[in-house]
Amino acid sequence: MMEIKKELLYTNDHEWIKDLGDGTYHIGITDYAQDKIGDISFIELPVEGAKFSKQDVFGTIESFKAASDVYAPFEFTVIDVNTDLEDEPEKINEGPYDAWLIKVNSENVSGLLSSDDYEKLIEGE
């Protein structure tokens, strides 16, 4: 069974969102997603200050199997990027809930899934 953390929120696109308070959030990919992608060899992330609308592609994660886009779960502005992942993208495979991709600022984070709803989603796949 894939790890699903109860304190996080999730998307249908297999991303996790951690509320850091004050309208800021970390976004990463789930254990389920990293398992499906395989051994991650490259990651492309946006620059600080970049703005995205819901469902915009904000990054790409590549493995030896394929390249996968990462989608904005809501409208946000990037305020920090986990640059450690540029040199060590395998950290996502090693600990997907520790290896956040970006830190964002947003005023509207509606439409996210609870951990229970996300668990039902992946059970159906």
Instruction: Identify any residues that bridge with 57 across adjacent strands, giving them in sequence order.
Output: 71
Rounded distance between C-alpha atoms, residue 72 and residue 93, angstroms = 21
Burial letters 15-34, b for 16+ CB under 10 A, else e: bbbbeeeeeebbbbbbbbbb
pLDDT in tens, the chain (125 residues): 689 999 999 999 999 999 999 999 999 999 999 999 999 999 999 999 999 999 999 999 999 888 999 999 999 999 999 999 999 999 999 999 999 999 999 998 999 999 999 999 999 87
Residues near 46 by beta carbon (within 8 Å), at least 6 away in sequence:
52, 58, 59, 78, 81, 102
The closest alpha carbon to 34, from 96, 82, 122, 103, belongs to 96
Domain locations in the chain as residue ranges? 32-108
CATH architecture designation of domain 32-108: Beta Barrel (2.40)
Do 30 and 2 meet the contact criterion of CB atoms below 8 Å apart?
yes
